[in-house]
Copies of this chain bind each other. A is one copy, B any other.
Amino acid sequence: MNSPRPLIAIDWGTSSLRGTRLGASGQVLESREFPRGILTVPTGQFEAVFQELFGDWVQAQGALCLISGMAGSRQGWQEAPYCPCPAGFAELGQHLLWLQPGRIALVPGLSCLGTDALNTPDVMRGEEVQIFGALQLAGRDSATLVLPGTHSKWVQVHSGRVMQFQTFMTGEVFALMSQHSILGKTLDLNGAFDEATFLQGVNQSQQAGSVLHHLFAVRTLGLFDRLSAAQLPSYLSGLLIGEELHTQNVNTDSGPVILIGSDTLTQRYSLALQHLGFACQSHGAEATWAGLFALASAC
């Protein structure tokens, strides 16, 4: 696949801003990263910040710029309304919000309605690009995908369309528990990752009972010297990631689970999934650039 013109691919999230200049076959020519997530940008200043940091690239003749992530949220540059699921690549392209027609566009997020009694809505912004990018890199059009992070996403894709997804507050709960709760008093966040202890946590989370109870064990296992302060963060991590796996119907009919995220997180999810008997494969930031490149090619 070739893009007809130079592409500037931007991932503008809550806490960071990353951009790449991609070549005609999607290869990364140049990258930039700034601690200028949308939370650091005053209302009305998005265009100025963008021009300051990427203006030289944008001047390049005929460059197209696609921006995914929270820049398209209500708190961002401009709100790009969510594209409702089921949604595929085509719907995403149709819902681009053009800031400069034919030149700069915001990629919309996705929304879906849960299958629960309340049809509880769920949302994502930025992950949709990674999903389509990873599927393309993996050469698949159906998969269960997991995007670990502050708010982990579990995604079901069938025949190229995102059918349903669910958000888990796993990463945020880990941070709050380890930094602000009573558990923080006994655990040592500088402890090295301990795989065996992590898997103990995963095992424990597969048992009956609530994660609200299992969490308290992080305190008592420390109090009773069953785990050291340095081991407790690994146990906590295993408990929380295991809770996701325990309550999800992991479907590998169409192939391994696809993990997309940082090395640290995808390695932990990989460990947990394989421990429970599920095959998986991982992708990192390249999924974002592949997704935006594919979208540009379809524009």
Contacts and interface: CB of A to CB of B under 8 A. Distances in A.
Interface string A177-208: 10011100000000000000000100110011
Contact of A213 (B118, B167, B204, B221): B167
B182 A172 contact: yes
Which of A118, A221, A248 has most chain B Cβ within 10 Å?
A118
A56 interface: no
B121 A221 contact: yes
Contact of A207 (B117, B176, B213, B244): B117
Contacts of A114: 217
B209 A169 contact: no
Interface in A207-238: 207-213, 215-217, 220-221, 223-224, 226
Which of A123, A173, A210 has most chain B Cβ within 10 Å?
A210
Interface in A108-127: 114, 116-118, 120-123
A88 B213 CA distance: 24
A224 to B, nearest CB: 5
Nearest to A214: B120
B216 A151 contact: yes
A212 B213 contact: no
A236 to B, nearest CB: 12
A208 B247 contact: yes
Which of A166, A169, A180 has most chain B Cβ within 10 Å?
A169
A121 B223 contact: yes
A117 B208 CA distance: 11
Nearest to A176: B176
A210 B180 contact: no
Interface string A75-114: 0000000000000000000000000000000000000001
A277 B5 CA distance: 65
A117 B170 CA distance: 24
Nearest to A179: B180
Interface string A125-166: 000000000000000000000000001000000000000001
B212 A211 contact: yes
A240 interface: yes
Question: Closest 8 A-B residue pairs measured CB to CB?
Answer: A210-B247, A167-B216, A168-B212, A120-B217, A176-B176, A121-B220, A121-B224, A169-B215
